[in-house]
Amino acid sequence: MPAQSLQVSSAKAPRGERVTLEISLNSPPGHEPLGLQWEITFPVKQLTLADGVSPGPAAEAAGKSLRCAAKPEAGGIGGSRCLLIGGGQPIAGGVIARLQFRVLAAARKGAARVRVDQAIAVSKDMQQSPLAAAEATVTIVSR
């Protein structure tokens, strides 16, 4: 399967506010995956997944369901494992998921790194292709 990639948007927010990051899929035409899985990691002393992870427009257009399960916290890093599957339509490029974080009131100012890795794309013939990790930052600012 030709190279697909994920991209994560960055954002700025003050302590106590909510912020949304978007995960986008870039995929060559004719080689769109049928399903995707990935892991999200973030610093738990700065961010929490307030409203979780929701499907983006590209996932919804393909009729996919998004399921995420929290991973155990390790070394101040929390996260979720996500699976985007369902139906027979491939996933076109675009926003596949939205991550809705809340910046904790005690978070230190500066950058909080959000990472999407361990990603795998599954083709219609069930071939699996790993995708490179993608990173973004939530810049925590003063009000």
Q: Which domain range does residue 56 map to?
A: 5-134
Residue 69 domain flag: yes
3: pLDDT strictly greater than 80: no
- At residue 55, the 3 state secondary structure works out as strand
**Range 90-103 average pLDDT:** 96
Q: H-type helices in the chain, by residue range?
A: 57-61
Predicted structure pTM score: 0.94
- Distance between CA 129 and CA 118 in Å, rounded? 11
Low-confidence winner among 2-6, 13-17, 73-77 (lowest mean pLDDT): 2-6
Average pLDDT, the chain: 94
Residue 142 domain flag: no
Q: What is the CATH number of the domain that holds 119?
A: 2.60.40.680
What is the structure's pLDDT at 143? 75
Q: H-type helices in 27-136, by residue range?
A: 57-61
Burial tier of 58 (Cβ tally within 10 Å: 0-12, 13-18, 19+) = buried
**Range 24-53 average pLDDT:** 94
The total of structural domains in the chain comes to: 1
Residue 140 domain flag: no
**Range 113-124 average pLDDT:** 96
1: pLDDT strictly greater than 80: no
- Distance between CA 49 and CA 78 in Å, rounded? 9
- Distance between CA 97 and CA 100 in Å, rounded? 10
Residue 143 domain flag: no
Q: Which of 138, 143, 75 is nearest to 110 (CA)?
A: 138
Residue 46 domain flag: yes
In this prediction, residue 2 has a pLDDT band, given cuts at 50, 70 and 90, of low
**Range 82-96 average pLDDT:** 95
Stronger pLDDT, 130 or 142, i.e. the higher one? 130
136: pLDDT strictly greater than 70: yes
**Range 31-59 average pLDDT:** 95
